[in-house]
Amino acid sequence: MIKKLNLTFLLSLVAISSATVHAESQIVAPQGQEVLIAFPELISSEKAIPAKVTDNIEVPPGAVRAPAPPLTQMWVYAVGSTNCGWEYTVGLSVTTCDHGGAQLRTAVLEIGYGSSRIAWMNGGVLPGSAMYASTPVCITGGYYSWPCTAGQTVVGFLNEYNVDGYQNGIFKYQNTSINSPWNTMSVQISIL
């Protein structure tokens, strides 16, 4: 009896998953519109940022751990959308591209370690689930880079946010250092 119920359950799962695959494979974009299924990965070499000499953290030989560095720098590294793809925004307070479409993403590059990330879009706090990726950042050849390779010291993070549903507005990000001096830093950008 139990074997028969298990077999019936497994057959039901197969039927449901095949129906789902069939339904998903028939998604058709309206003619002339591009559908962005997965957002492209941000590559550090596209907009290389020189690392400060003081950010090159040396771990003493034989040391397993070292203190985490406090937050020292922060940028809205890029804004991405269905209409524009990724626009690199380091040093900008306003995007140059007219973003919009089904997907809108932001990426914040922070140097140092923080403990209380908060992100806002148009004044509303985004849920923690809006951050869909956090990639460790290291220093390679005098520039901030990711992904880190084995043996490199993590000096910061690239945090990516999903703000789908917005066409434009103010994106703001804030974090507080995990250790002394417990400073709070923030950055924002106006998305056109």
Tens-place pLDDT, residues 39-68: 677 777 667 788 875 544 555 555 556 678
Per-residue model confidence (pLDDT) at position 45: 67
Question: Which tokens hold the place of 40?
Answer: 């492209």
Residue 147 has, within 13 A of its CA and on its CB side, a CA count of 5
Task: Enter the DSSP assignment of 114.
Answer: B
Distance, CA of 4 to chain centre:
46
- At residue 25 the predicted structure's pLDDT band, cuts being 50, 70 and 90, is very low
Whole-number CA gyration radius for the chain: 21
Has residue 3 got a pLDDT over 70?
no
């690199």: which residue's tokens? 88
Tens-place pLDDT, residues 118-128: 999 999 999 99
End-to-end CA distance of the chain: 62
